[in-house]
Amino acid sequence: MEYLKVIGHEALVRDRSSGAIINTNKAEYEEYMERVRAAEERETIISKHSEEINNIKNDLSEIKQYLLQIINKG
């Protein structure tokens, strides 16, 4: 592969065949990947909490229905 330096950016090069900009700074890449992993983890946690909230809402709805049945029988 043949790369061209990006003017004004020490760690960036352009791949001549695809035109893609590539960051050659490994530390910056690792920091980026850590941010991606943290965002994915947050998304998983939010999804899990959302599911738990929906389960609680369903349980409360059932309880409400049972209470209404008890009240209507009395």
Find the farthest-apart pair of alpha carbons in the chain and give their distance in angstroms, rounded: 84
Reading the chain (74 residues) residue by residue, the pLDDT tens digits are 799 999 999 999 999 999 999 999 999 999 999 999 999 999 999 999 999 999 999 999 999 999 999 999 97
**What is the model's pTM?**
0.62
Asked if 16 and 8 count as a contact pair (C-beta separation under 8 A), the reply is no
C-alpha–C-alpha distance, residues 55 and 67, integer Å: 18
